[in-house]
Amino acid sequence: MRENVSFPFWRVDGARIYSQSAYFRHEFGAPVRKISVDAHFSCPNIDGTVGRGGCIFCDARSFSPGRQFGLEDIDAQIDDGIVKLQRRFDANKFIAYFQPSTNTHAPVETLERVFRTALRRPEIVGLAIGTRPDAVGEPVLALLEELSRETWLVLELGLQSSKDASLRAMNRGHNYACFVDAVERAKRRGLRLGAHLILGFPGETREDMILTARRVAAARFHSVKLHNLYVVRNTPLASLWRDGSVKIQSLDEYAQCAADFLEVLSPETVVERLAGEASAEFLLAPEWTGVKHAGRNAIERELKRRGSWQGKFFDPDWIDQ
């Protein structure tokens, strides 16, 4: 692969990854933190709209504090988040991150009421909205376009993999073409986009994961979140893992895959997450997922070992065949 010799601004301090904190400092001129908000929407892959049962790896309680503790009121969740984050960090600006389930899977009138409830707060300087590519019809995109003119906004689309066989195996309920269609329609409205990816699906080769990385890079996403495949209780994946049908990557294996991914990603794409985290109450495997910053530290070490960084082999002229 040909080395990309461009020198993005975030590498001045020797960083190897364009982090969310670096982006927020550059964009807002001050530290900004995300507050996870649960609007208690459903998922079209669970309620029968596109399927039932959901993705084989998913149990929303394992990554949603709001759902776990029952803070149903949006204002109460934001109050709780501000108090906790101000206690831990020197931050007075926050993004309301609508995180669990599918946060565009509701009538547009409901969505507007929920999102504007968050934006009424002076501490909230933007919205991050997590959803699925099959839940962004034109009325939803029109609302988000309107909101994006009023505030900082990113629409985060869950892809997980661009390999259709993997999407079928995880009971994802959509294919890669659906994701491409959602991206193209959102881009026509000028929306800032993020992508969620999972590395380490059974049957995926290094070349498969690099192809997903190249596709994301070619689409010039604002941001990405990388997750390792991990197993939580009460999911179909847990049963497959227990009977030996699914092997989970070691920390070193995941760090190598993530480094491969980052090397071909655009240096202009913000990397918001490098590995998944799950509560010990729910996590089954791998153990390292329960260790704070284990994934990030391993990926940083791997990039340093290679003498590499995000975007080192990014090809702006790459075309998907």
Instruction: Say how many C-beta atoms besides its own lie within 10 A of residue 172's C-beta.
Output: 28
Q: E-strand spans in the chain?
A: 32-37, 93-98, 124-131, 152-160, 192-199, 223-228, 231-232, 270-273, 283-285
Residue 81 CA, chain-centre distance (Å), reads 20
Please, which residues bridge with residue 131 across strands?
Answer: 157
Q: Name the nearest CA neighbour of 37 among 142, 119, 149, 134.
A: 119
Q: How far apart are the first and last CA of the chain?
A: 18
Domains delineated in the chain: 9-306 (3.80.30.30)
pLDDT tens digits, residue range 135-153?
999 999 999 999 999 999 9
DSSP state of 53: S
pLDDT by position in tens, the chain (length 321): 677 756 677 777 789 999 999 999 999 999 999 999 999 999 999 999 999 889 999 875 544 444 444 446 899 999 999 999 988 888 899 999 999 999 999 999 999 999 999 999 999 999 999 999 999 999 999 999 999 999 999 999 999 999 999 999 999 999 999 999 999 999 999 999 999 999 999 999 999 999 999 999 999 999 999 999 999 999 999 999 999 999 999 999 999 999 999 999 999 999 999 999 888 899 999 999 999 899 999 999 999 999 999 999 999 999 987
